[in-house]
Every structure is written in structure tokens, then in C-alpha cells.
Structure 1
Amino acid sequence: MRKFIKAGIVSIATVLALSGCLNNSNNSSEDGMGSQGMDHQTGQAPGSAQNQLVTNTPWIASKNTTRINTSDPVEAAILVSRTLWMATSDDNRPGSVILANPEEWQTALAAADLIHHPSNGPVLFVNQERIADSTLNELKRLNPKGVEMNNGIQVILVGNLDPKVEEQVKRLGFKTDKIEGSNPAAVAKEFDAYYAKVAQEIPSSVIVGSMDSMEYTMPAVNWISHMPEPLLYVKKDEIPQETAGALQTREGKANIYILGPESVISAQVEEQLKQYGRVVRIAGNDPFENAIAFAKYKDKGTDFGWGITTPGHNFSFVSLDSPVLALAAAPFSHLGKHAPLLWTSKDRMPDSVMSYVMSVRPKYKDSPTEGPYNHAWLTGSEDVISLAAQGEIDSMLEIVSESGEGHGGHGTASETPRPANPDGGTGGHDSHNMPGMEH
């Protein structure tokens, strides 16, 4: 990356730097959730160009992608918050902010149901015992308005946090509320009840996910950040009593969407869930295909699901090597260009992901100014999503000619194969109509 900057080559990334964004980013490291060995004056690891980039260039954009340029969950949550809630006026300040511990991923995931309503606000990360200074500074910047229909609450603390965390928030003068639970199923039930109390209605549809398989359950986070349906937890072969209790409030009329294959939620559990309502399974053979299946699914009867099978959409890419970053990126489905979650790998899109993205590639008839356009958020620095991977995603999102001719009819598009894998393969498909030829 240093070589990239020294050479002055801006072939893919337009760097958008906002100074002073994370002046206290070293504090998240002190809490055990960031890079170790940080210089407490500069906020950088000594001699580390990557950490300098995280601090000084938090956003990196190409023509079709925007990267949240950190792999620290605490910093990522702050940057997502800054991207979506500018907090320059009451119109773009959040109602309330959710504080969660990313190490309790089941709690943080289920808490996303409160992002849209009642909060209209982000999830920021804390550890069990304290809040990093950088997160406290972000709370001050956001200055949440308080949610009138939720008794003016400005900060919601979720999970099993030390009382000292709430004390830090109260010292800022914010009105707080707490949602706790003894286990993932119990806290998910509490979120369901909290939402129903504030909204004064119980959503008839629910997502049921595995409390033991983060990679299969995590795609739910973007949908529940966007829509009222909650996430409830099961084990592979068991429905916890707390989940059963939450489903019973639907009086046998629930629309239950299982997320994940039988390898993580058994056919036995699927059959048992039928006593609470209609059951549909959304699944893929691996985590990549599972996320794609959810992005494509639409229940026309209930309007549940993204149903993205045509061009003109946004996606949120997170590396499966760092799944906790999906928790920080969840609000990208709530404001701006709403986006479902897609898993990717560090250096390239897996074949299944590439095929799906290509299937919804935008095409124009006469001019690229017609649109539609695709875009993607990428969350993570180059240690989890490489620059080459960003370039591949950017290319596959580019609008191309419907006819295969170049921009303005100058020449025709060529069939450019995807770069070979190290083993000599091409990944199972060709990258047809590369935009560099058509534009």
C-alpha cells in the first residue's frame, strides 16, 4: 500500500480523508479490541503504514465501492456511524445509540433489530468493563436526540455489561436503558419484547438462526437492521424455551424463516417450529451461498426478504475471515443505499459470489448515463480484503453495454477471462464484458 501511495497511482482508489476522525483510536486497542503496541501519542503502531492509513484515510473509495478502512471492530463501528449519521443538524442525528460488546456476537447481532426502530441510530462497541475514549467521543459527536416514544431514551446498553459502562454514559448526561439476558435465546426474546412494547405491535414474521454458527446466522443482521422482523435463536437440535415463548406470542400465526441449512438447524427443529406457524427455510450449501440465498429471497405474500435478482442495488461485503465486522456494517442496510450482506474472501470473490454479482450486473442500452448502477460497501482494511479483491468487486459492479459494444459504439467488448488461480484454474467462469473494454 505504501508503494502504491509513493508511486502516486490512483488507478482504483480515490482517498477521502476526514481529519480528526479517530484521534483516539488507540484507546480501543487499550481495551483489547484493536491492534497491540500502539503509540499512545500518534495512535499508530510504530513503523506501521497500515495503521497510519487506518487513522489518516478511514474511507477509501473507487468508482463503485467505498471501503471502511479498518479491521478493528470498534473503529469500524465508529466509521459506519460517521458515514450514516453526520450529526450536523437534528435531521441527521440519531434518536438513540446501541452499545454492545462484539465478543457477545449473538447479543450484538440480535440487538440490530433496534437500529431502525426505535433508535434510528448505530451500534457502537464496548468491552464488558469500559468504553474506549474514541467511542465516547463518537457518542458526544452524535449527541442522540432521544426517542420520544421510548421515554426519551438516548443510549440502550445491551448484554451483560459491567455497571461501570452505564456510569460512563450517564456522566455524559444521556438517558439510558438496559436489555439483558442470561443466554443468547433469552436476550433475543428480550429484544423482541422491547421492540413490540415500543412499537405497540408484534411483528408476525421472525427469522430463526443458529446461536452456534455465526457465519450462517450473520446475514440476518442487515435485514433486521432494516425491517421489524426480529432474530430468535435455536440450537441445531433444540428450540430453547425462551424462543418457544417468543413464538407463542404470535398465537400460531407466525411466519418463520429459518436461515441456514440442515447442518446447522436440523430438520427435526424445522418440524417442531411448525406448531408456531408457517415455516420456510432459506439456505445455501456453505456460508457464501447461504448469504446469497438470503439476498435473493423474497416472500411475495409477506414482503419479507431482499429479493435482489436485478441490477441497480447495493451490497455490503465483509470477509468471512473477520465476520464480526458485519456487526459494525449492519447499519448500511438502514440508511443510504440499503445493502444485504455478502461474504467474500481476502483476495478474490468466491465463484458463487462472483456468479451472483455478475447476474445482477447493470447494463445500458444507449449510454451509461441511463443507469441503473450498482455499488458496494467494503468493511475491513487490506489485511482482510485486499486491494486486488476491491478491484475485482469494483469491476464486476461496473455498468456495461447491453449490446457488448464499447462506450459510444467505439469497438466491441472482449471476452476477458478471470485471472488464473495459483493452481492454474480460472475460478470456474469467465469475467465477460470487462468494463475497461466497454467504456
Structure 2
Amino acid sequence: MSETPSALRSWLSLWLVAGVFASSAQAEALASATAVEQVIPVVGAGAATGSAYFPLEAAFDDQPSLHPPTQERYLSTDGGQGVGLYGGRQAYIDFGPDFANIQITGTWTLWNQWGRTSQGPLTYWWSNSRDNLFNNDDVAETTPGFGFITRLPPTNPTSDHAWSRDYTGTGLVPKRRYLLVSAPVTNTNGAVEFAITGRLGGTPPRVVPPPAFGALTLVDEVNCGNPNDTHAFQQFPTNGSRVETVLGRAVRVLPNDTPGRKYFAYRLGVGKNLVAGKAYVLSVEYPDDVPRTVIIANNGAEYTRAFHTGNTVGDALHPPYVHPNPESLELPQTGEFQTWQTLFHLHDRYPSIKRPRGNELPRDLTPADGFWVVVAQFRPEDAPLSRGAAVARIRLYEAPAAPSYYAPITLPPTG
């Protein structure tokens, strides 16, 4: 069953003014991000062992010295020999023995200004050797967007070469010393140089904060990665979400590669003896793997909040009615599952999925009926860096007794 687009429109004004809430994992990661981004020097590159002629060393023979590379002007005579990518052949990029101390945040292609054309995609895998065959201990690199020659830049008014950023991440660590590159088809007429940007020095130690509310009593739980979960379920558009494996677990994802706003929703608390006015904790478990913008609507208390990970802009870029406040920060990501929590008091009456405006819709649900929790996201053009909202589990807990969760108040001195 799908909800009408008017439901989404009725939420948007709430989403856009609700603000952006970073999880504790994001805050700790931002505080620990002390390394400076730079162009990563590669130890070497060239044809893989067992492959025919594939001079990938030409892709790294005139490296930029500034970060980002777009700050450095490349004339039509710069860029070295140019990049030749030969179909059916393989090459390697050597990150050196200290590869585990590298965090890749960007890959770049320097393009010819004139006559360039779209190129066939390359495939990549990590290996401990320069062998052109995929071995048992090799690891395929499938991070969305990773690689080179994926984005043609717009035409410039000069004959200068132009840098284009292919991949944007928050700290991809090489899984092996060598990155193997395979060209399924011959690519010509375009690429001049490659560059890799990121941080050196490894990941600082993580300081994990304690749980926000301590031990809690579980009331209800939704397994979003299970298509057969028994909770009532809705999504918009029809088949707008899908179950994927992320960080080794099944999660439900709203893809950001198809047009329009999207949501999925589950009904929690049916038959769980919920009590109006009582405090509960809503907990959302999500993968902190790639940049994502996630909007959570709790209709049991009629509030909407959002959080974002990685370098997503947080707010919508082109919202109606209000002025946005987008900001892209390179928030490092943990590569683990994290939890977002809010404490709320359950209302005595509340709406279904559609939020009422005035007397438009009834508030005809009560605690005995449970309440809807909605996971949503903006249009792709409003959140271009997001890889799509993703959630593993939604949990409902009884909150601890008040006033244990009250924030301490420090009053100014008297007199």
C-alpha cells in the first residue's frame, strides 16, 4: 500500500525547519579528525604482472601539489603523457607498505578540454600482489562512486585541462597494498592524469560515549532488513525502498538514484499496552558506512527530526517556503552500525501517516493502535551527496523514570 504524495508535502515544512541532529558517533568522529587532507603520493603504478601493455604510470606523472587539485591550473601542455586505458588489460596502483595508514576521501580525473568523451567504467580490486588475476585473498572494491573517469566536467572557456572529482568519501582505507584496475573496454580521448586525495597517519583512537539512557526495557522492535517482518508497513513510491546488505547485515534502503521524495514506515506498539503521557525512547540503528541523510518522523508524538553522516549537506538544497541551511563537512565515519535515539512522551491521540494541517485530517489513533514511525529522505537534487537513508532496526523502549533523564540545571550565583 502506498501513501499519496500529499503526505510528503505535508511533512516537508516540518522536516525543513526541524534542524539537523548529528549522532554521538558523528560528534566524536569530527572531534578526532585532526589529519590534514592532501594529495596522496602513490609509490608506483604500471601494467599488472601477466597483463599486456597498460602504462598506468602515465596517470601519475604530473601530480598536483595543492588540495583540492582544482586549485592548481593545468595548461593544455601539462598533465604528462596522458592516460591510455586498454580494454581487457589490467594495471596496478601501489600505495606502499603503510597503506593501512591512508584514508582516501577523493579520486580525481584531469580531462582534456577539447574532444573528450564519456568513458567505459573501470573495475577495481585490492590485492597483496601485482598479479592481473583475482586471487582468493583479494577484495573487490565496490564502494559506490569510487574510481576514475566517471564524471565529465563542463566545458571551460579556455583550452586548459579541467579536474573533475569522481569519488567523495570520508576515509576509505585501502584493504591491500595494491589497487588493481581493469579496463573492460579501451578508453581514449579524454583522461590526462589521475589524483587521489585523503589523509595520512591512520585513524585516531575512537572514544565511545556511554549509552544516552543506560539499560532500558524493550517494548517493540522492527527488523527493517527482514522483508517478512510482521509489523504493518507502507512505502512511497510503490517499491521505493529495497533490502540490501550493508556492513554484513541486511538493512532497508531508500535509494537516492531515482527521482522524487521517498519514505518507508512501520507501525510500532500495537498490542503492547502503551500508555498516553508516558515517556518512551525511540531508537534507530543505522549503518555508518557512506554519506547518508536520514529523516525520522515519530507520529506518536508528532515530531520530525533528521541526522546526516559523512559529507552530506544536512538540509535540503532547494526547499520550498523556507531558506535552507546546507553545510557539507567531512565528518569521518566509523564503518560500524550506530544508534540514534530520542526521548518522547506518547500523545493520547495522533494521526496515521499523513500529518494534519488544521482540521484537514483526524487524529484518530490512540496508544492501543500503536503509532507510525517514518524513515524518509529528500529528492536527489536536494541531497546530492547522500547515498540514501538506510536503517537496520527500529526499537521502542520504556524510558527510565523521571527525573533521571532531566538535564542538570546550573544556575548563576546569587547576588
Of Structure 1 and Structure 2, which has the larger fraction of its residues in helix? 1
Structure with greater strand percent: 2
Q: TM-score scaled to structure 1, two decimals? A: 0.24
**Structure showing greater Rg:** 2
TM-score, with normalisation over the residues of structure 2?
0.25
